[in-house]
Amino acid sequence: MSVTLHIDDVAVTVPEGATILDACRARQVDTPTLCYLENLTPVNVCRVCVVELEGARTLVPACSRKCENGMKVKTDSERVRLSRRMVLEFLASSVDVSLADDMQRQMQRYDARPGRYGAEARTVAQPVKVDNELYVRDYSKCILCYKCVEACGTDAQNTFAIATAGRGFAARLRMRVLRELHRRLSDGRADVHFGTRDARRGHVGRITPCQDRYHLRLLRGWLHADRACPRRRDRQSHLADGSRGDERPSLHQGPLRLEIRQTQTIRDVVGRATLAPNFDWLTLLCGADLYGRPGQRKPEWSQTVQFITWFLNPPPVTVVPTEALVAISSVAVVIWTGGFIVRGWMKSTAVALMAGMNYLQFAFFASVLALLSNTLTLRCLAVGFLFYYGSFFVHHSARLRKREPEVELFLPYLDQVRVKGTQFWLTLQVIQLLPIAVTILWPTPQVLAWCCAAMIFLGYQIILAFVYSDLFEQRKQDVSNTS
């Protein structure tokens, strides 16, 4: 049996039981969804997929409305566009959706302007909850798509550990099951092994702990494409209790072990789709966290592909005036000091070298400022500099070692210090490379600006050490001359 309906005046035939969304996708009509996932029961709460159905008083959700013969659906009418825009605005004005790339794209498409509600608009923001080793909760990123509730409930896990509590705007997801676990962890009654075990080989490996994963996510290093640990995908975690016999498996009694079993089932149940547009609210060691996209087994080079994807998709940037100011003033100081060095202490090659480096540094940060709006360029540039500096050091290290076997420093608190030339240059090099590395990992002007500030401080210390050691030497000579 099949049904025929009209989508934007084009007849579409779909099998009976298909939803309007299925029909739209069959027609290649780009329909945004947030709370929809192929393998979960539609909850149709986000209302971003609404379409106009002829004869219906209100708009209907495409993700759950079944197709009927003779339906006339409009997917891009003024009403539909307004509703989608407003829903995106509502979410973006109340939730931190900065990590939800697809949603950002939809917001651009529908011209959503969440700023319209003013600065006093209420948000769901609250501090990140990191209170245990098992899960991290960032409620300010939760759009209440119910996917974790569904997956934890009858759609996959049948664990029912996550449920909505409260009402209206105050509604939040609550997790009940792990609270006791947390309590037991904190008073030493339970122990967590972040281990993985392959059912066939009995291999025990290590998976990335939750908090690390959370921070990787913030750095966008943890891709939606791979929610499981990078090495071994398709795992289902299991909270198993060690107790046996007539005792009910309970969280109160017995030693507790967190075991991650490798299984195929979870992939079969929910695969082939990214879990959530903004799932970053919850980094959790349970099945809900492990659904991957796509479901097919990935070839071994997938990590390289992942790295390239990650590298080519830096986060969007917002220029904050304060930080930009800090960066600019840092550069100004670098110019000023650099000039000093070149004018006064050109006598040794090493110092000249350092001056040159400072100028390179300056050039680097200047380009940072010039390219503030494009983080991808920034990241590429940083990589370029990394290679340039690296080759510079490799090239000249032998010469430096020969020419300056020892460097005399006059450090503020340690008096005169004599260090090996290589060590000194290595330290200097590492300090120089630090902001570049940070830039690659996290190409935002804010981070960079504060790195600049830190660099200036360190650079000053080094320069002063040089200056004072020279002055000290000079004074010693003066004293011996006069005597």
Partner 1 sequence: LDVHYTAAEPTDEERDAVDALLGPSASGWTGGPERTVADRHFAAGGRSAREQRHLLLPALHALADRVGWVSEGALNHICRRLTIPPAEAFGVASFYALFSTKPRPPAVVHVCDDLACLVNADLCGELERTEGAAGGVERRSGATWLRSPCLGLCERAPAAMLSIAGADHRDELIAPARASDVVAAMDGKRIVRDLARTVLPQYGDPALRLLRRIGRIDPASLDDYRAAGGYAALRRAFELGPTGVIREVLASKLLGRGGAAFPTGRKWDAVAREPERPHYLVCNADESEPGTFKDRIVMEEDPFAVIEAMTIAAHAGGCEKGFIYIRGEYPRALAALDHAIAESRKHGLLGDDIMGHGFRFDIEIRRGAGAYICGEETALFNSIEGYRGEPRNKPPFPVQRGLFGKPTIVNNVETLVNVLDIVEHGGEEYAKTGTADSSGTKLFCISGHAARPGLYEVPFGATLRSLLDLAGGVRAGKRLQAVLLGGAAGAFVTPDELDTPLTFEGVRAAKATLGSGVIIVFDETVDLRAIVRRIAAFFKDESCGQCVPCRVGTVRQEELLHRIAAGGNGDAAATDRRLLAEIGQVMRDASICGLGQTASSAIESAFAKFDLLGAHRSP
Q: How near is the Cβ of 64 to partner 1 at its closest, in Å?
A: 6
Q: How near is the Cβ of 241 to partner 1 at its closest, in Å?
A: 10
The residues, ordered by sequence, that sit 6+ positions from 402 with a Cβ below 8 Å of its Cβ are: none
- Dihedral sign computed on CA atoms, order 347, 349, 354, 360: positive
**The pair of three-digit structure tokens given for residue 98, joined into one six-digit string:** 């900065």
Nearer to partner 1, 84 or 267 (CB): 84
Cα distance between residue 476 and residue 384, in whole Å: 44
Query: Is there a contact between 372 and 317 (Cβ–Cβ < 8 Å)?
Result: yes
Cα distance between residue 25 and residue 98, in whole Å: 26
Q: How near is the Cβ of 154 to partner 1 at its closest, in Å?
A: 10
Nearer to partner 1, 110 or 385 (CB): 110
List residues binding partner 1 (CB under 8 A). Answer: 42, 44-48, 50, 58-59, 61, 64-66, 79, 82-83, 86-87, 90-91, 93-94, 116-118, 120-122, 143-144, 158-171, 174-177, 179-180, 183, 246, 248, 250-252
Cα distance between residue 393 and residue 399, in whole Å: 10
- What are the φ/ψ torsions at residue 76 (nearest 5 degrees)? -140, 30
**Matching residue, tokens 């975690």:** 237
Cα distance between residue 343 and residue 102, in whole Å: 53
Nearer to partner 1, 52 or 404 (CB): 52
Q: How near is the Cβ of 120 to partner 1 at its closest, in Å?
A: 7
Nearer to partner 1, 9 or 120 (CB): 120
Q: How near is the Cβ of 176 to partner 1 at its closest, in Å?
A: 4
Nearer to partner 1, 252 or 297 (CB): 252
Q: How near is the Cβ of 71 to partner 1 at its closest, in Å?
A: 13
Q: How near is the Cβ of 330 to partner 1 at its closest, in Å?
A: 40
Q: How near is the Cβ of 104 to partner 1 at its closest, in Å?
A: 17
Which amino acid would we find at residue 454?
Answer: A
Q: How near is the Cβ of 22 to partner 1 at its closest, in Å?
A: 16
Nearer to partner 1, 29 or 143 (CB): 143
How far from 193 is each of 182, 207, 233, 239, 266, CA to CA, in Å?
14, 10, 18, 11, 21
Nearer to partner 1, 83 or 104 (CB): 83
Which amino acid would we find at residue 325?
Answer: L
Nearer to partner 1, 176 or 399 (CB): 176
Three-state DSSP class for residue 66: strand
Q: How near is the Cβ of 41 to partner 1 at its closest, in Å?
A: 11
Q: N- to C-terminal Cα distance for the chain?
A: 111
**Matching residue, tokens 């947030």:** 34
CA gyration radius, the chain: 29
Nearer to partner 1, 39 or 64 (CB): 64
The CB-based long-range contact list for 301-309 (8 Å cut-off, 24+ gap) reads 302/226, 303/230, 306/223, 306/225, 306/226, 306/230, 309/223, 309/225
| Edge-to-edge strands, sheet with 195-197 | 204-206, 195-197, 256-262, 235-241
Nearer to partner 1, 119 or 414 (CB): 119
Cα distance between residue 474 and residue 483, in whole Å: 14
Query: Is there a contact between 338 and 303 (Cβ–Cβ < 8 Å)?
Result: no
